[in-house]
């Protein structure tokens, strides 16, 4: 029996930078832009995005449950069937 293949995202550096910038913005927005430190927001967002990008993609049809009413970064939000059909993120299969 063969091992299931794992599929990972391959994201260009410019797109990674944009994802981090958006995640840092959402962190500040979720606390009402009160207090906090932009550098700390960036560093935490960078860790969060790098962690997400290093994980294999969930299998098609997997359910994602998210709690809370916070505005989420697009990588953290559940994908719709329509967005999956037009997604242009490259993937790499690893055996």
**pLDDT in the model for residue 59:** 66
| Per-residue pLDDT at 31 exceeds 60 | yes
Residues 84-92, mean pLDDT to the nearest whole number: 44
**pLDDT in the model for residue 77:** 57
**pLDDT in the model for residue 36:** 93
Q: What is the DSSP string of 3-55?
A: PPPEEEEE--HHHHHHHHHHHHHHHHHHTTT-S--HHHHHHHHHHHHHHHHHS
| Per-residue pLDDT at 28 exceeds 90 | yes
- 56: pLDDT confidence band, cut at 50, 70 and 90? confident
Give the domain ranges of the chain.
13-94
Q: What is the pTM of this model?
A: 0.57
């Amino acid at each position: 029996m063969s091992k299931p293949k794992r599929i990972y995202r391959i994201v260009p550096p410019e797109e990674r930078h944009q994802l981090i910038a958006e995640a840092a913005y959402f962190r500040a927005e979720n606390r009402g832009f009160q207090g906090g430190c932009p550098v700390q927001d960036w560093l935490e967002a960078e860790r969060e995005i790098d962690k997400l990008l290093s994980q294999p993609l969930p299998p098609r049809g997997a359910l994602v449950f998210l709690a809370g009413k916070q505005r989420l970064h697009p990588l953290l939000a559940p994908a719709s069937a329509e967005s999956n059909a037009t997604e242009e993120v490259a993937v790499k299969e690893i055996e």
